[in-house]
Structure 1
Amino acid sequence: MSVSGIEAVGFSPMTPPVVAPTQGNQVTGSSGFADLVLDGIDRLESVQNRADGLAVQAATGDLGAIHDYTIAATEAAVTTQLTVAVRNKAVEAFTEIMRMPI
């Protein structure tokens, strides 16, 4: 599945971070790694909240098309799996950095 296929499902592609000139060891600019992580967690939460809301509508019979819930639930599951995979890679990278000799 290509990136354009993901867009059709409702995912918005992440824009690459803007790397600003550095001063010493700190990056100056508004888009840092922490901002990207927080934005990703916010997106995950909104996708899960949408799926939860549609699940309630499906359970109460207020949902007109069940496929809307199915798509939202699958999107939430895939987003969660992606978030966990990124977290695992970050932890793995941190562990490798900590093993490096000084």
Structure 2
Amino acid sequence: MKVDLQTVNPLQTAFKAAGNSKIGETNEGPSFADQLKKAFYEVNDMQVRADKITEQFVAGKVEDIHQVTVATEQANLALQLTVQVRNKIVEAYQEIARMQV
């Protein structure tokens, strides 16, 4: 019994299930790189806001230490998450690079 491999291609099946008719076709949504850039800019904005509110607190313009603490902790957690995501991306790239073709 001969099986046509084109009809059993799991990647092709997955892309069809996702709404793409061919491998490599993309939807009109933003790319993965665009999503990463957006996330990096958001993390940077959190860092800048935390720095500004800390400066304002030191200058005496903000009296609520809670605001400063929350902003700083949010920026810290976002940065830690970003570093972990970067580490996973690097690990995945290294794993793919080690694959024998």
TM-score, normalising length: structure 1: 0.75
Q: 1:82 to 1:22 in 2, by over 3 A?
A: farther
Give the partner amino acid of 1:88: N
Determine the structure 1 residue equivalent to 2:73: 74
Deviations 1:29-58 (A, max 9, x none): 232110110110011011111101101101
For residues 21 and 41 of structure 2, what CA distance do their matches in structure 1 show? 27
For residues 20 and 44 of structure 1, what CA distance do their matches in structure 2 show? 32
TM-score, normalising length: structure 2: 0.75
Equivalent position SS for 1:101: coil
For residues 86 and 39 of structure 2, what CA distance do their matches in structure 1 show? 11
Q: 1:65 to 1:75 in 2, by over 3 A?
A: same
Q: 1:29 to 1:61 in 2, by over 3 A?
A: same
Please state how far the C-alpha of 1:25 moved relative to its aligned partner: 2.3
Please state how far the C-alpha of 1:20 moved relative to its aligned partner: 6.0
| Identity %, equivalent residues | 35
Identify unmatched segments of 5+ residues in structure 1.
Answer: 1-18
Find the structure with the greater CA-based Rg. Answer: 2
Aligned Cα root-mean-square deviation (Å): 1.6
Identify unmatched segments of 5+ residues in structure 2.
Answer: 1-17
Matches within 5 A, 1:43-58: 43-58=42-57
Count of matched residue positions in the alignment of Structure 1 and Structure 2: 84
> Contact between 1:51 and 1:69, CA under 8 Å: does it hold in 2?
yes
